[in-house]
Structure 1
Amino acid sequence: MKSLRRTKMVAAVAGAASIALLATGCSATDGGDSDGPITLTVTTFGTMGLDGLYEAYEAENPNITIKATNIDTGGNALTDWKTKQAAGAGLADVQAVEEGWLGQVMQVSDTFHDLRDYGADDIKDRWVDWKLAQGTDADGRIIGYGTDIGPEGLCYNGDLLEAAGMPSDRDAVAELFGGDSATWDDFFQVGKDYNAATGKAFYDHSGFVWNAMVNQLDEGYYTAGGELDIEGNADLKSQWDKLADGAASGLSAQQSAWDWGGGKAFVDGSFATFMCPGWMLGVVKGQVEAAGGDASSGWDFADVFPGGAANWGGAFLTVPTQSEHPEEAAKLAAYLTSAESEVAAFQAAGTFPSVVAAQTDDGVTGGSELSTFFNDAPIGTILGSRAEGVKAQFKGPNDAVVQEQVFGPATKELDSGVDGDTAWNNALEVLKNLDLN
């Protein structure tokens, strides 16, 4: 789901390569006004690819010590943030915020420092326009520096497609799904053909597919004006009906979100395709390896996505007003979101940069360990292609709640055999009881 953006099951270690990269091109500002030692706390979640950057920053700023905490999932990070936000204490100097719960953050944006007070206006051209806009509140205060964005491509297992009599070459696979004109109808039809040939499921579970379908719409659970818009929403219901038909046709492997049996489902042929924003590539690799697989397990990455451009996830680094060292925290956040740092994070975890200069850097478009795992796919180039046409969908204050508590159970119902209309109506009943309006 949206806020369950990354999992603890994949280690994100930038390593020596990242540190060397930063040493050659990403010099931080001086340690700050204080001559004494400062400890800065950082809270992130999942696989953001930042771990190796902390040591590099400390080396360039001897008076700074970084104490980092990484929470396993975005959903748990949201709970942690809300608890400490309500208590008025305990938040880190640099707090990572997930796109899926940015709406909640913006409701209390005055509890975050305006980064313009610490030089944001001087670097605001770093980011793609819509990412900067997402991190800016209604009063024009820049409260978040963008880390990654989540353009989606299609992960697939070439060996499984070949066994079904389908192509495995990534260009041919892209055409199989419709190329530049790929639709969800195409996707589900290929899935039905695959199921007919093999008797097997086509994707891991309905939840992630639904997430992609919703993110792709001009407006998702909320209108651009901030109104919750689910009941009677013809666009959502049309997509739901397609998803329900797919589940009824046996295309879902009925996996649980973020639980693939220790990676077993990625290596035993349980499913052949997987929704893949850039950061999810590291998750796939980690799952395969956790189950004893490797680059020979057949997974690849194609420059195609049903319905066109879609974005899933992306984070921001903020400085809560609880911080005792806001200037130093802002400098660290700026460092971690420089072009060089975002290239290093991509190499560590596949997180596609929101910084324009980083998107075309050789460190992103060239080869990497992740590319090798995915059959030498040009991952950075593919993600750059998939980022074209992505629009920032408005995320309302309870977007993550709707995704997890309303449609999480409903997609599980689809996978368990409940018909689409019943599951939809059950979701609306849950929504009514939550009273989110």
Structure 2
Amino acid sequence: MNLKKTLSAAVAAAGLVVVATSAQAAITVDVYGDYGNYFEDFKKDITKAAGDYKHNANDWGGHHNKLTLNLATGSGAADMVLVDTGMVGGYINGGGLMDLTSKFAPFEKNMVDFAVKQGQNEKGQQIAVPVDLGPGVAFYRRDYMEDIGYDVDEVMATWESWLAYGRELRDDYGVYLVSNADGIARSIIYGTVEAGNGIYTGPNNEVLIENDRFKFAFNMAKQLREEGLDANTGMWNDDWYNGFKEGTFAMEIQGAWMLGHLQGWIAPDTEGSWGASNLPNGIYGTWGGTFAAIPTQSKDVAAAWNVIEYMISPKAQLAAFDEWAMFPANKTVHANEMFEEEIDFLRGQNARALFSEIANNVIPVQPGAYDNIAETLVVNTALQEVLADGRDVNEALKDAAQQLQKRMR
């Protein structure tokens, strides 16, 4: 689309005279994480698709804090913004972002189903468009699995077989099963949502925090901690990085994007020591992902949409997957030969086919307007009280549920 020509024609029709260079202003794009490099490296292609742009890259927290302020005050937002899957529920139901349903309609059939649903508000409008996904994967150390006689499928078959494996590792090898019990609780909470429910609330905004899913997740995490099966390390710190390098723990459950971090900078010297598997007990879950949205403040919606359309195109999806392991939300590219390649870091495993299988089997879950608040109250507060302070699970969940109900009112 030639924006300069289009705008110039509109101005001429209105009988106005302007300086030619003012006809096309650069749009702004707010991003975080590896997307700072993305918008730098793909600048030529994006400019060709959408015109000139300026991108502002921030860290995860700073990016979302800025967006929250911009939408709340009605000013300062970029023409196009990215949103993390953990934050998308609040944004798409909170106002300030455009309804992209009609623009997205021709592309919807090409996108992974559960991610499409995640970008829809409670009215069913497509407010955010999925760009990349985080299929939930168990990355495991082969030297603590096949190399010592275990079969990964048998280990991961049930929670009981998985725990038994962890106890044997602890007793026989002095190795922790996982880095942190917190991640296991999250996997259960996010990956076993009941049909028709959201993560934290039901279809009529009823609070679900005290149901069996949360109790099982909290009790499983508590059991791991009490039995000494988790290393009790946080994420993105030296202890965590060293755990991957030195084999302190045997398994890490994360999004498929973790492969890029492991082989790229966290533990490149451990090539061949890793494998990838489904989650325990047949769970199909997700961990992370990115959405693109257009604030209602955008001064050039057409150009902003062209950026999104470029990002979900097969060419861009494959390029981002190849460069930064951003797993494609566009499922049509999952048939690409790249998904048949063996991965040296995973000892020749064709893991991308596994990632695609997981992504296409995740059950869609409706994001709720209060997901961000509930995440803080339940996972970041109540779960930590259980793990760190030994608080009773039922009491912690009851308190969190009451607090959420108050916030919702």
TM range (shorter): 0.7 to 0.9
Equivalent of residue 29 in structure 2, options 42, 53, 66? 42
Equivalent-residue separation in structure 1 for 2:91 and 2:361 (angstroms): 26
The question of whether the paired residues in 1 share the 8 Å contact of 2:271 and 2:344 is answered with no
Question: What is aligned with 2:259?
Answer: 281
1:196 has 2:171 as partner: yes
Relative to structure 1, the CA distance from residue 388 to residue 325 in structure 2 (aligned partners, 3 Å threshold; closer, same or farther) is: closer
1:320 has 2:327 as partner: no
Equivalent of residue 55 in structure 1, options 43, 67, 71? 43
The question of whether the paired residues in 2 share the 8 Å contact of 1:226 and 1:394 is answered with no
Equivalent-residue separation in structure 2 for 1:415 and 1:284 (angstroms): 27
Question: What is aligned with 2:19?
Answer: none
Equivalent-residue separation in structure 2 for 1:228 and 1:258 (angstroms): 31
The question of whether the paired residues in 2 share the 8 Å contact of 1:248 and 1:414 is answered with no
Question: What is aligned with 1:399?
Answer: 371
Question: What is aligned with 1:87?
Answer: 73
1:176 has 2:155 as partner: yes
Query: Once the 2 structures are TM-superposed, how far is the Cα of residue 260 of structure 1 from its aligned partner?
Result: 4.1
- Range that drifts further, 36-45 or 322-331: 36-45
Equivalent-residue separation in structure 2 for 1:295 and 1:146 (angstroms): 32
Equivalent-residue separation in structure 1 for 2:245 and 2:387 (angstroms): 21
Using structure 1 for the length normalisation, give the TM-score: 0.79
Equivalent-residue separation in structure 2 for 1:211 and 1:152 (angstroms): 11
Equivalent-residue separation in structure 2 for 1:385 and 1:268 (angstroms): 30
The question of whether the paired residues in 2 share the 8 Å contact of 1:94 and 1:318 is answered with yes
Long gaps (5+) in structure 1: 1-28
**In the alignment, residue 132 of structure 1 is paired with which amino acid?**
V
Equivalent-residue separation in structure 1 for 2:377 and 2:57 (angstroms): 24
**In the alignment, residue 248 of structure 1 is paired with which amino acid?**
E
The question of whether the paired residues in 2 share the 8 Å contact of 1:310 and 1:390 is answered with yes
What secondary structure sits across from 2:248 in the alignment?
coil
RMSD over equivalenced CA pairs, Å: 2.8
Question: What is aligned with 2:83?
Answer: 97
Equivalent-residue separation in structure 2 for 1:76 and 1:405 (angstroms): 21
1:132 has 2:116 as partner: yes
Map 1:366-381; keep pairs closer than 5 Å: 366-367=341-342, 371-381=343-353
The question of whether the paired residues in 2 share the 8 Å contact of 1:100 and 1:395 is answered with no
Using structure 2 for the length normalisation, give the TM-score: 0.84
**In the alignment, residue 60 of structure 1 is paired with which amino acid?**
K
Query: Once the 2 structures are TM-superposed, how far is the Cα of residue 193 of structure 1 from its aligned partner?
Result: 1.8
Equivalent-residue separation in structure 2 for 1:54 and 1:384 (angstroms): 25
Question: What is aligned with 1:363?
Answer: 338
1:113 has 2:113 as partner: no
Relative to structure 1, the CA distance from residue 305 to residue 177 in structure 2 (aligned partners, 3 Å threshold; closer, same or farther) is: closer
**In the alignment, residue 407 of structure 1 is paired with which amino acid?**
V
Question: What is aligned with 1:209?
Answer: 184
The question of whether the paired residues in 2 share the 8 Å contact of 1:44 and 1:70 is answered with yes
> Deviations 1:337-381 (Å, cap 9, x if unpaired)?
1122112221122222221212222234435xxx33332332311
Q: Which has the larger radius of gyration?
A: 2
Map 1:247-266; keep pairs closer than 5 Å: 247-261=225-239, 263-266=241-244
Relative to structure 1, the CA distance from residue 50 to residue 363 in structure 2 (aligned partners, 3 Å threshold; closer, same or farther) is: farther
The question of whether the paired residues in 2 share the 8 Å contact of 1:254 and 1:412 is answered with no
Equivalent-residue separation in structure 2 for 1:65 and 1:424 (angstroms): 55
Relative to structure 1, the CA distance from residue 38 to residue 212 in structure 2 (aligned partners, 3 Å threshold; closer, same or farther) is: same
Equivalent-residue separation in structure 1 for 2:213 and 2:277 (angstroms): 27
The question of whether the paired residues in 1 share the 8 Å contact of 2:31 and 2:56 is answered with yes
Map 1:322-337; keep pairs closer than 5 Å: 322-337=297-312
Equivalent of residue 222 in structure 1, options 185, 198, 201? 201
Equivalent-residue separation in structure 2 for 1:235 and 1:277 (angstroms): 21
Equivalent-residue separation in structure 2 for 1:324 and 1:239 (angstroms): 45
Query: Once the 2 structures are TM-superposed, how far is the Cα of residue 274 of structure 1 from its aligned partner?
Result: 0.4
Question: What is aligned with 1:68?
Answer: 55
**In the alignment, residue 206 of structure 2 is paired with which amino acid?**
E
Long gaps (5+) in structure 2: 9-22
Query: Once the 2 structures are TM-superposed, how far is the Cα of residue 310 of structure 1 from its aligned partner?
Result: 1.3
Identity rate, percent: 21
1:302 has 2:273 as partner: no
Question: What is aligned with 2:12?
Answer: none
Equivalenced residue count is 387
The question of whether the paired residues in 2 share the 8 Å contact of 1:346 and 1:364 is answered with no
The question of whether the paired residues in 1 share the 8 Å contact of 2:93 and 2:122 is answered with no
**In the alignment, residue 43 of structure 1 is paired with which amino acid?**
D
Question: What is aligned with 1:246?
Answer: 224
Question: What is aligned with 1:187?
Answer: 162
The question of whether the paired residues in 2 share the 8 Å contact of 1:40 and 1:93 is answered with yes
